[in-house]
Amino acid sequence: MSESSDECEAKSGEIIAGNKDLSNEIFIRLPATYLVQCSWVSKTWFSFLSDPTFIQRHTLVQPPSLSGLFLIPRHNSHPKKVHFLSLNQRQPKFLCSDFLNSRRFQIVDSCNGLLICHSQESGDYTICNPTTRKVKILPKCFQIGNGEFALKLVWDPLISTHYKVVHIQKVNGHNGLYEISQYSSRNGEWTPSKQPVFVPENMNLKSGVFCNNAIHWVKNKLGSYLELNTMTVRDMPELPRKEQFHYNIKFKYFGKSQGSLFYVITNLLQHCLELYQMKEHYSGWDFKYRVDLDVLKPTFMIMGRRHWGFPTQFSECENDVLAINGASSDESLEIVLSIPGQVIVLHFESITASIPYPVFRYADEPIWLRIHSAFQFFETLSLV
């Protein structure tokens, strides 16, 4: 009697599951979100896919890439519902935001696929991997008090499987003086720095950007960064802006992509975005791209809404830069742009060419300009 197709598939699955080398060669080529679903098939697959050695190799073979954005309302409603905007069309229907909302988690920071979340129910701070839906409660940091503080997640999965959390606490009665503590997933403990550090006033510590083992802040024309190896604060090169048109220049975005810092401003008179990249060794800012927003207006006419009381030529092309995604040098690069009612992704094959991607939406729900904060999502199997 011939075997049924179901029986043949079951036996094939058993052969694959029983052959560790074959399983490894197949699984290592699959995205992390698919592997999470595979781990639900059997205890054998779950054990194999949870092995730290496999996870580390998978990360090296398939480095984390930007898959989407968590969008958090900036208004003070409670609870703040997390929306997920997918930027990856091959990604399965696997809404990490459902998991975060079910736990009533508020995102504090994100880094290469891991999140720091604050539980609105217990008050605990947790490390969360939204891909695997695994959570670890951080031990209490003895320095957390009623004063101003920030928590920053620092982790480079291509260098280490272990992450750190940096806690920055303002010293009461001392302007610009902060105490630093670091939590390491390697030993599960907080370690205070030997002495406080001075950070220039008016820096928004919670908006810090982790890149190349340092945390960076910008404010107006100034920028500073905290070197985590030496626990010293240094000045960045003066932020790029054209002094003769300073009243027409507006800050749009500061962030990182693939190990590089990017800074974006808009020129209100010329209706364009200007994108700059930090040079090596903090030697200055390098002009990379200019985006002519007037080219987009015929397709997205709502960008050019005229503001009451202002001449048309002074009306801003309404947009927010949510993320920069792409390589350094002159390889392809994307700008994720929020405009009234929707999000678009502009794709650049080179400095001289720009081709708009299709329009992306979060389900069928409009995403309105300037009311969301964005946290990046990367697929990763990393343990918390």
The matching CATH number, chosen from 3.40.50.360, 2.120.10.30, 3.30.420.60, 2.40.100.10, for 66-378 is 2.120.10.30
**pLDDT tens sequence across 281-320:** 999 999 888 888 888 888 887 787 655 444 455 566 888 8
Q: How far is CA 153 from the centre of its chain?
A: 11
Distance CA(199)–CA(185), nearest Å, equals: 26
**pLDDT tens sequence across 71-90:** 888 776 666 788 888 887 66
Mean pLDDT of 231-252: 77
Whether pTM exceeds 0.75: yes
Q: Which residue has the higher pLDDT, 261 or 81?
A: 261
Instruction: Give the torsion through C-alpha atoms of 10, 15, 17, 22, to 10 deg.
Output: -140
Domain residue extents for the chain: 5-61, 66-378
User: Using alpha carbons only, how large is the chain's radius of gyration in Å?
Assistant: 23
Structure tokens at 197: 């550090």
**pLDDT tens sequence across 111-143:** 999 999 998 888 899 999 999 999 999 998 866
Mean pLDDT of 82-105: 76
- Look at residue 78 in the predicted model and tell me its pLDDT: 64
> pLDDT tier at 353 (50, 70, 90 boundaries)?
very low
**pLDDT tens sequence across 145-192:** 566 788 999 999 989 889 999 999 888 767 778 899 999 999 999 999
Mean pLDDT of 198-219: 88
Mean pLDDT of 51-59: 90
- Look at residue 351 in the predicted model and tell me its pLDDT: 46
Q: Which residue has the higher pLDDT, 100 or 359?
A: 100
Asked whether 343 and 71 are in contact (CB, 8 A), the reply is: no
Mean pLDDT of 235-257: 78
Mean pLDDT of 247-263: 87
Instruction: Give the list of residues 6+ apart from residue 344 with CB closer than 8 angstroms, or none.
Output: 296, 300, 336, 337, 356, 357, 359, 360
Instruction: Sort 37 into a burial class: Cβ within 10 Å, 0-12 / 13-18 / 19+.
Output: exposed
Asked whether 115 and 153 are in contact (CB, 8 A), the reply is: yes
